[in-house]
Chain A
Amino acid sequence: MKSLFAHSSNIVAQLALAVLFVSPAVAHDPVFALGPHVLFKGGVEIAPQVITANDEDDRDTETSVELTYGLTGDWAAGMELPYVDKSGINDNSGFGDIKLFTKYRFWRRDSLGVQQSAAVLAKVKFDTNAGGLPPLGSGSTDGIFGLAYGYESRKWYRWVSARYRINGENSMGLQSGNKLFIDLVGGIRLNPTAYDEPDTVWMLELNGEYTERSGLQGVSVSNSGGTEWFISPGIFWTLRNFAVKAGVQIPLASDLNGNQPDTDYRARLVLEWHL
């Protein structure tokens, strides 16, 4: 029984690291936090991206393509098709868990050079990964729900968002702890440019994550759950209908239960085309 729990703790750590479940890449939103942007009606966004997460023992890299469609000027839906590469104590790579998402902007207030808006997000991750060990996914169907507010002007940006992730149970009876994300973001456009010129916005995020304890066959796993805070500088560079978004999450503080590896850093690079 002791060895089963020791093994399960390692699995939980790997699962938690593997399933980064980041926010959709949509438009002019923060790198890691959720923003309220959607896509213009009839628009298509193609966003290849790379996300890497590192702790003391392992490195997980997920490459994915995100496709988003603007259903209306305030409602978008899309899917994410990932490929996961895990290296460290053990190695594994292959297709990851497909995700479907929809975002609805339910409030918008526009004035000269300023847009304020708020949106809700719903995202579902399905158990479609290629399998093997270490696992390329959570082995379960998980959901995430989010709420975001954003203020954009020609110079200043600010966002605040919250997301809650609900995890299903996998075939071994393991249920990763549900997770709450809280994000505060500030951004600045130092040099406002014209419509057809390159545009750069610098961002700084404060990302908080509270994870509940995981459960294995109904029993709480001691080496799971806890709180982590990250400070995350990022950049958003655009030219007409093309964007590059990049950032790094640097650990600020952590209070993890039991014996778990701290997160070293996470990084994300996104390319976006609007068609």
Chain B
Amino acid sequence: MKKLIVYTVWVLLAATVSMTAWAERTHYEMRVDGLACPYCAYGIEKKLSAIDGVQNLDVDLENGLVSVDVTDGVVLKETDMRQLFNDAGFTYRSMTTRPADHDGEHAQ
């Protein structure tokens, strides 16, 4: 009986972790102009990281791209992003979205 209970708890735990990993996440990739120096871009990290549900921030200075994954239920609106990047000292241009991979890597 004791073994059955322990086994059941482990199965439930594993299922919970799996469901969390498999919850649909969205990958946002944003084109931003003015990204000349990494030190100056810290404000972007600060502001995006302050949004609940934002994960896996990446700043690609060479290509002017800022990308994040967001958890299910979180939506990044263009108007909000335009203001966010302006407050950080840069210019937002556009964004694309696609489902994120289970392990957080960008979907191909």
Query: Which residues of chain A have a CB within 8 Å of any CB of chain B?
Result: 27-28, 37-43, 70, 72-74, 108, 110-115, 152-154, 189, 192-197, 199, 201, 238, 240-241, 243, 274
Q: Which residues of B contact A40 (CB under 8 A)?
A: 42-44, 46-47, 87-89
Q: Are B62 and A73 in contact (CB under 8 A)?
A: no
The docked-state distance in angstroms from the alpha carbon of A73 to that of B91 is: 11
The docked-state distance in angstroms from the alpha carbon of A201 to that of B40 is: 13
Q: Are A152 and B38 in contact (CB under 8 A)?
A: no
Q: Which residues of A contact B44 (CB under 8 A)?
A: 40
Q: Which residues of B contact A108 (CB under 8 A)?
A: 34, 89, 91
Whether B28 is near chain A, meaning CB under 8 Å from some CB there, is no
How would you classify the secondary structure of chain A's contact residues: helix, strand, loop or mixed?
A: loop
The docked-state distance in angstroms from the alpha carbon of A195 to that of B59 is: 6
Q: How many residues does chain B have at the interface if contact means C-beta atoms less than 8 Å apart?
A: 28
Q: Which residues of B contact A152 (CB under 8 A)?
A: 36-37, 40
Query: Which residues of chain B have a CB within 8 Å of any CB of chain A?
Result: 33-47, 58-64, 86-91
Contacts A40-B43, A274-B43 given; does A199 touch B89 at CB 8 Å: no
Q: List 7 A-B contacts (CB under 8 A).
A: A38-B89, A40-B44, A41-B43, A73-B88, A114-B34, A115-B90, A274-B39
Contacts A73-B87, A192-B62 given; does A154 touch B43 at CB 8 Å: no
Q: Which residues of A contact B62 (CB under 8 A)?
A: 113, 154, 192
Chain B: CB-nearest residue to A274: B42
Q: Are B34 and A28 in contact (CB under 8 A)?
A: no
Determine which of A72, A112, A274 lies in contact with B33 in the assembled complex, contact meaning CB atoms within 8 Å: A112
The docked-state distance in angstroms from the alpha carbon of A134 to that of B45 is: 47
Q: Are A197 and B38 in contact (CB under 8 A)?
A: yes
Chain A: CB-nearest residue to B64: A112
Q: Are B91 and A110 in contact (CB under 8 A)?
A: yes
Q: Are B87 and A37 in contact (CB under 8 A)?
A: no
The docked-state distance in angstroms from the alpha carbon of A192 to that of B58 is: 16
Q: Which residues of B contact A28 (CB under 8 A)?
A: 37, 39-40
Q: Are A238 and B39 in contact (CB under 8 A)?
A: yes
